[in-house]
């Protein structure tokens, strides 16, 4: 019972993992510039919006765990987009951030290859786990 509810919740958190991966370097960039205030304001505004959206999804739209996990992922993406827009448009970052270049993506091939191998391993592991029927005994 609990395991099936966890599966419903966790699978919809996958977009949050990508948001976290993008947010981490943005956060470190802003911290390296000693730009803390805008991050705090963005986080506070997102928290207030998150509280409203979670109330809406769970109580008014009755989406339950699915709504809760999707709103959580959405909140992370709001933070990512707001911080990205801030450091691209802010005058405080105009000398340290200019634009993306080809050199920015120079090591991306190896990362994508590793992601492919890891993703296929996780997929095959899940297929074996489900097909053996072991999941029904938990």
Q: What is the pLDDT at residue 3? A: 72
Q: What is the pLDDT at residue 127? A: 66
The C-alpha atoms of residue 91 and residue 57 are separated, in whole angstroms, by 37
Helices 64-89, 2-11: inter-axial angle, 10-degree rounding: 30
Tell me, yes or no, whether 32 and 92 share the same domain. yes
Tell me, yes or no, whether 81 and 136 share the same domain. no
Q: What is the pLDDT at residue 137? A: 47
Q: What is the pLDDT at residue 128? A: 64
Stretch (H or E) spanning 92: none
Residues of the chain with pLDDT under 70: 1, 98-100, 104-105, 126-138
Tell me, yes or no, whether 20 and 82 share the same domain. yes
Q: What is the pLDDT at residue 43? A: 94
The 10s digit of each residue's pLDDT in 22-58 is: 888 888 888 888 888 999 999 999 999 999 999 999 9
Q: What is the pLDDT at residue 138? A: 47
Tell me, yes or no, whether 22 and 84 share the same domain. yes
Stretch (H or E) spanning 77: helix 64-89
What is this structure's pTM? 0.71
The C-alpha atoms of residue 55 and residue 103 are separated, in whole angstroms, by 44
The C-alpha atoms of residue 17 and residue 71 are separated, in whole angstroms, by 13
Number of domains in the chain: 2
Q: Which domain covers residue 104, as residue numbers?
A: 100-138
DSSP, res 93: G
Tell me, yes or no, whether 66 and 110 share the same domain. no
Tell me, yes or no, whether 93 and 39 share the same domain. yes
Longest distance between any two alpha carbons in the chain, whole Å: 58
Tell me, yes or no, whether 82 and 112 share the same domain. no
- The three state secondary structure string of 10-62 is HHCCHHHHHHHHHHHHHHHHHHHCCCCHHHHHHHHHHHHHHHHHHHHHHHHCC
Tell me, yes or no, whether 68 and 9 share the same domain. yes
Tell me, yes or no, whether 56 and 121 share the same domain. no
Tell me, yes or no, whether 79 and 130 share the same domain. no
Cβ-contact 42, 77 below 8 angstroms = no
Tell me, yes or no, whether 81 and 130 share the same domain. no
Tell me, yes or no, whether 11 and 79 share the same domain. yes
């Amino acid at each position: 019972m609990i395991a099936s509810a966890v599966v419903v919740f966790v699978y919809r958190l996958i977009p949050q993992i990508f948001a976290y991966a993008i947010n981490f370097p943005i956060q470190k960039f802003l911290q390296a510039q000693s730009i803390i205030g805008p991050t705090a304001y963005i986080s506070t505004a997102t928290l207030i919006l998150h509280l409203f959206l979670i109330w809406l999804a769970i109580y008014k739209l009755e989406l339950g765990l699915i709504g809760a996990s999707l709103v959580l992922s959405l909140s992370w993406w709001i933070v990512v987009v707001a911080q990205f827009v801030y450091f691209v448009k802010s005058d405080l970052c105009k000398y340290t951030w200019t634009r993306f270049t080809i050199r920015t993506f120079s090591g991306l091939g190896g990362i994508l290859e590793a992601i492919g191998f890891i993703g296929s391993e996780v997929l095959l592991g899940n297929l074996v786990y489900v097909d053996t029927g072991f999941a029904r005994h938990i």
